[in-house]
Amino acid sequence: MKIALIGYGKMGQAIEQIATAKGHEIVLRIGIENLEDFTLENVARADVAIEFTSPHSAVHNIRKCIDAGVAVVSGSTGWLQHWNDVKDYVTYKEGALIYASNFSIGVNLFFELNSFLAELMSKHENYHVALEETHHTQKRDAPSGTAITLAEQVMQKIKTKKVWVNHISDNEEELEIISERIDPAPGTHKIKYSSAIDDIEIIHTAHNRQGFASGAVMAAEFLCGKKGIFTMKDVLNL
């Protein structure tokens, strides 16, 4: 498989290491120092593009790869207000896209656990639920895309929570997400249910970027040769 890396920071380099170890070829590496090389002709050399950039450039990057006829695995977060437009564009162009707020296999299993626990806890109104997430100081968005996904899962099951907020709140309709940025911290997410009697919490802690990178390569392998829009649930058959 030939891969274009759109975003060649620490995550892109971790993806390259895993992809090449599995026998894949990196045919294009795009970072801030060589944006002029991000052309349709260059992207078209790849079978799949793996895109990890910023909220401000993700939509443009995805569209450009789709225009080049290349499937896209996107792990950029903070741009989902444009999701419907991107989804319609990919469908119109008969392209292929996987977006995930987190490609880690462990995190995607954690998503399933979070949804199941929220359903159980929805029957017990004496528990207060809140989220916490901790990342390194270079993390540009807060809360993290993973935290937002977790919060949305909770709100799907616990109907008293109407909206998530990124601060401490005493409004019972608001679901708190508390964000911290400290170094070094690849990523920790916690969902805590508290009552006067006891606490129940689930935690996922990433030790490094390898889990994210491995999942992104797995997603690219799954997407290669396909058309349509998929999720990590499809990749992992969850």
| Residue numbers annotated as active site | 135, 139
Contact by Cβ (8 Å): 187, 103: no
The CB-based long-range contact list for 13-19 (8 Å cut-off, 24+ gap) reads 14/209, 14/210, 14/212, 14/213, 15/50, 15/52, 15/213, 15/216, 15/217, 17/213, 18/210, 18/213, 18/214, 18/217, 19/217, 19/220
Contact by Cβ (8 Å): 145, 77: yes
Nearest CA-CA partner of 215 in 5, 9, 14 = 14
Give the whole-angstrom CA distance, residue 201 versus residue 150.
13
